[in-house]
Structures are given as C-alpha cells and as structure tokens.
Amino acid sequence: MQSSSDVTQHPAGALVLGLESSCDDTAAAVVRHTAQGEDAVATLVLAERVARQDDAHAPYGGVVPEIAARAHAERLDDLAAEVIRAAGITFFDLDAVAATAGPGLIGGVMVGVSVGKAVALATDTPLIAVNHLEGHALSPRLSEAVAFPYLALIVSGGHSQFIIVEAVGRYRRLGSTIDDAAGEAFDKTAKLLGLPQPGGPALERLAAEGDAQAIRLPRPFLGRDGCDFSFAGLKTAALRAWEAGDGGDRLRANLAASFQAAVAEVMADRAARALTAARAIAPVDTLAVVGGVAANAAIRAALTGVAERVGARLVAPPLKWCTDNAAMIALAGAERLALGLTDPLDAPARARWPLDPAAASAAPASGGGRKGPRA
Ligand code: KG4
Ligand code: ZN
C-alpha cells in the first residue's frame, strides 16, 4: 500500500502531525524533522498531548474496546487542533499527517486513520499510515542519536518482541512471546493482587515493599535457545501462590516483588541471547528497550547489566515516550516522509500488522495491540 512521491518539505524541516489511538491512549503531536542523517537527533517535538482513558475503563478491570473507540472519537480531533495551536502553526503548514494504522483495537485505529485522512485531504498533504510497532521501535531516536542498526526490545501491554532495526522500514524480528505480552502479565498479576489498572506501575510500587526472594516463581524459557518469551506459566504460578497463601499484605508485597524479579531475570536472559543473535546478523552495539514495561526500574537495571556485560549500550526513552504517545508516530511518519514513503487515502486500518512480515508466519501472533486484562 506504499507509494513513493516527490515530497515538498518545509525549508526548516518537515512539519508532521502524529495521531495515536490504537489502544486506550488518545494522543496527538507535532514534530519538526530535519534529515541530518542517521546519527543525528533530527526530530524536535514541538507539541504533544496524551489523553488517558484509565477512569473510563476502571469499572471493568481492563480496556473495553467499544469504550476506547468512543473516547478516541470524542477527543482526537480536539487534541490535534490543540497541538497545532501549541506548536504555533496552522494545519496548512503541515508537510504530512501520520496516523497509527495498526496493529491495535480496530475501532480506535479506524478513528485515528479517519482523522488522519480528513486532515490530509483538507490540507492536501500526504498521509502516512504508521505501524504502531514502528513508532515504538524508532522512539529512542526522539531523544538521542541512535544509529542503525540497533536491537529493540518492545515490551508493552500488547507486545513483547526483539526486533533488529536495520533502517527505517527494515525490521527483522528475532523472537516474541508465545503467549502473554509482558505488560499483560504485569496487568493480570496486579489484578490478582487487587491493584488498579494499568497494573504495571502499581505492581512496581508494591514490589518495593516486598522481598523478591520470598516466593520461588518459575523463570519460563530461562537459558533456552532462541529469543522467544513465555509469561503464561509465571502468571499461573503467581495465581497458585496467591491462592495457597493467607491473602495478607506481606504476601501481596512479596508476590509482587518475586513476580517482578522473575520477569526481570527472564528478560535479561532473553536480551543476552538476542544481542548475540543480532550480532551474528548485523553490527549492533545498542539495545533499546521501548514500550510501557520499559518504564520498570528493575527491568531497566537488569537490562543495563546485560548490556554492560556484552559491551553494548542500553537506551531507554524517557517515560512519556515509553508508553503510548503520538510523538513516536509523528517521528516514524517524518522518517518515512524523508524517504518518500507515503500512503494513499484508502490505506486500511489493520487490527493485525506484523512489523516483520517474514517472521509473522513463523511465530504465533500474540496480543495484537491489546493492553490490560479484558473485562
Ligand atoms: O506501551 P503501552 O503504553 O501500551 C501498549 O502499547 O500496550 O504499555 C502499557 C503497558 C501496561 O501493560 C502497563 O501495565 C505496562 O505497560 N507498564 C509497566 C510499567 N509502566 C507501564 N509494567 C511494569 N512496570 C511499570 N513501571
Ligand atoms: Zn504501544
């Protein structure tokens, strides 16, 4: 569905509006992108807004797709107008509009793609249909110079996968979860412990009060060949430990700490394997951890240890660009625009959309943009 086109860019750098609505965060951002080459930080975020929907979903204990889609429809056009105003420009100054076109909850994705198409049509600017995972994969380049190729570990509510980012538009998946995504496991375990959603941050806070050695939980896939993950068994073991205990506060905190330690240890092991596998393919010296779970300090610490041991650099974007945001979508759009990769106005919204089509058939598609336990 891609087409190349001659792109007229703003002399001071292309101005791109980004729109994100694939799960339960409604977001818009404007970036200015100057193509300074691969090594330079070339993207400036001029304005960004995120409207979270936690309160709307809270009564249901997880994201309800229909409620999410309605909330996106109510907020996205206003947020777009707000960031345009805050950036000190008008819609007619835009060089392109980039909208997340998948993977994700289809109702929300359709809202974002439709708003993107409306802006593109009204202002006669190109549309860029961005893969949400491409946004996450490129997000480290929002804050610092991260040269290609690098290894990205995408860990969010809907995804857990290792991708070699060879260049814009060239992604090679090395492994992914065979069942739950990491964030999904955090969210479900948090729910078990009676914590609010999204569960990851709450579980991390509770874990600080617990003893990570107190409860012996399994380390699924630890030491196994390959770069895949599995979190379902760990989640079930946490459930058993909870049901076998007294339900007291000590147990809650110890279980949170033990669960987090198990995830961090598995992730470190998998990352070490993935770095070795990546280096057999490409000269990779950076591991970038992105997605909501990258906000977890214990996981960052474990990954920093791995990177140091193998002489690689760990990069993790600031928190606001780890969780879902539109700056990363605008960045991906700007990087695609610079290559002349724009999309026609009939570009589809897609519930599933693997970043590396070659790997898509080799592993089960899991968590297509889902976040949090379903109601
Ligand atoms: O990237 P994101 O905002 O949305 C998706 O694309 O899924 O990731 C949200 C996920 C949720 O599952 C949330 O519980 C998890 O990231 N998360 C965390 C932390 N902060 C967010 N998990 C563990 N520790 C955290 N501090
Ligand atoms: Zn995401």
CA dihedral 309, 316, 332, 23 (to 10 degrees): 120
The CB density around residue 114, as the number of other CB atoms within 10 Å, is: 17
Q: Is residue 293 within 6 Å of ligand 1 at its C-beta?
A: yes
Residue entry with tokens 């802006």? 119
Percent of the chain with pLDDT over 90: 83
Measure the CA–CA gap between 301 and 296, rounded to whole angstroms: 9
Q: Is residue 180 within 6 Å of ligand 1 at its C-beta?
A: no
User: In this predicted model, what pLDDT tens digit does every residue of 48-64 receive, in sequence order?
Assistant: 999 998 888 888 878 89
Taking residues 225-248, report their average pLDDT: 96
Query: Which protein residues have a CB closer than 5 Å to ligand 2 (ion)?
Result: 156, 324
Local confidence band at 4 (pLDDT 50, 70, 90 cut-offs):
very low
Q: Is residue 286 within 6 Å of ligand 1 at its C-beta?
A: no
**195 C-alpha to ligand 2 centroid (Å):** 21
**Residue 278 near residue 164 (C-beta atoms within 8 A):** yes
- Kindly state the greatest CA–CA separation across the chain: 66
User: In this predicted model, what pLDDT tens digit does every residue of 178-234 receive, in sequence order?
Assistant: 999 999 999 999 999 999 988 999 999 999 999 999 999 999 999 999 999 999 999
